[in-house]
Amino acid sequence: MDRLEKAILCTIHLIPGLGNRSLWKILDEFGSFQNFFQADKKTLYTSFLKTEIIDKLLEKRKMSPEIVMEEYRSHDIEIVTWDESLYPQSLRNISNPPMILYYRGDIRVTEQICLAVVGSRAASVYGRNVARKLAREMAESGIVIVSGMARGIDSEAHRGALEAGKTIAILGSGLNVIYPPENRKLFQEITASGIVISEFPLNNHPEPVNFPLRNRIISGLCRGVVVVEGKEKSGALITADFALEQGRDVFAVPGPINSKTSVGPNNLIKQGAILVTGIDDILEEYYDINRTPGTLRQDRLLLLDDNEKMVLEQLVHESLHFDELIQICGLEIGTLSTALFKLEFAGIIKSLPGNYYVRI
């Protein structure tokens, strides 16, 4: 997207009531935002858009799109559109991908391994402690933590991540409207090493309708979503629903059965979410994540006997058949079977159809 096209997109995006789906429809119907911006009145008023939207568009025509871009620059806000290489790859294939993203920080952080930690605004002390601890430990393993910078679980997740690594905040407002206001310092800390992102333009306030839209981006950026606390109907569960729709993993931290904020994650576990009692329950799902020396998988590797180590050394690059392993390792059938069983039970290898084995 060239400079003028982007400037016009940013200008029309300021029109209240013109959301992401409408932007995609405009592009489809008019071919470009420049064509839309310069179309004659008859064409505009007979388009799919409401009359009040067109009225506001005609007002916007009186201002230069470059003035809008200058206002974004004055707030140190950068902009990326769906057709640019810096646009997060993980968002390209989700339903209703954001046409445009506004951000402060390092956009390249979105291409790292990301997991979301979300939960209740009215979090308990237990929930806050768990969220912060899990986020910190995941960050120590090189995972970027994504959340919504809301009060409660979100804020604790960001703070835990910042103690050991990087984090991404997705806002439900424009980047110049920090919400909640007490998180202004947290906002600055996140942008210093990670990134704060919004699909909402300048001066857009945190309306209730914005947060479900924000939640699809939180889950879309991630491999999985960890729900720490949440009521039966909450934003955290909306994020979990988006994660399932997008093919992401859903994790849930169990809580006391007499707590309203435990109903959400406890129900998710009943429905098949991965139960989380510690970071190992998360790391075991992702075998390409760098693990810190104290993690469970490395501890298990240290406990392997000589036969198990020998077998594992052969499974570095590709899957091998049971008979191939017998020939390479020179082990008896029973000895090899025992070694393979122990390695698979430890979650280090897995068996494939046809009696093949592969390291994971």
pLDDT at residue 296, as a whole number: 45
Three-class secondary structure of residue 145 per DSSP: strand
Q: How far apart are CA 255 and CA 282, in angstroms?
A: 17
Whether the CB-CB separation of 114 and 221 falls below 8 Å is answered with yes
Fold of 304-359: Arc Repressor Mutant, subunit A (1.10.10)
Number of H helices, E strands in the chain: 17, 12
Give every CB contact of residue 359 below 8 A, 6+ residues apart in sequence: 312, 315, 316, 348, 349
pLDDT tens profile 175-228: 999 999 999 999 999 999 999 999 999 999 999 999 999 999 999 999 999 999
Q: Mean pLDDT over residues 113-129, rounded?
A: 94
Three-class secondary structure of residue 72 per DSSP: helix
Whether the CB-CB separation of 255 and 266 falls below 8 Å is answered with yes
Q: Mean pLDDT over residues 302-320, rounded?
A: 81
Q: How far apart are CA 217 and CA 90, in angstroms?
A: 9
Q: Is the pLDDT of residue 18 over 80?
A: yes
**Which DSSP state fits 108?**
G
CA dihedral of 24, 25, 30, 33, whole degrees rounded to 10: -40
Q: Is the pLDDT of residue 233 over 50?
A: yes
List the alpha helices (DSSP H) in the chain: 3-13, 20-30, 33-38, 41-45, 51-60, 65-74, 125-140, 153-162, 184-193, 210-220, 235-245, 263-270, 279-283, 296-302, 306-314, 322-329, 333-345
Q: How far apart are CA 102 and CA 13, in angstroms?
A: 12
Q: Copy the structure tokens of residue 115.
A: 């997991």
In sequence order, the β-bridge partners of residue 89 are: none
CATH class for the region spanning 104-283: alpha beta
Burial of 332 (C-beta count, 10 Å sphere; 0-12/13-18/19+): exposed
Whether the CB-CB separation of 55 and 62 falls below 8 Å is answered with no
Q: Mean pLDDT over residues 117-125, rounded?
A: 93
pLDDT at residue 295, as a whole number: 45
Tell which phi-psi region holds residue 76, choosing left (phi > 0), alpha (psi between -120 and 50) or beta: left
pLDDT tens profile 50-75: 999 999 999 999 989 999 999 999 99
pLDDT tens profile 266-290: 999 999 999 999 998 999 888 767 5
Q: Would you kindly state where each structural domain of the chain is located, as residue ranges?
A: 1-72, 104-283, 304-359
Quick one: which of 177, 152, 183, 339 has its CA closest to 264? Answer: 152
**Measured between alpha carbons, how far is residue 232 from residues 154, 226, 314 in Å?**
18, 16, 48
Give every CB contact of residue 166 below 8 A, 6+ residues apart in sequence: 109, 112, 139, 144, 145, 193, 194
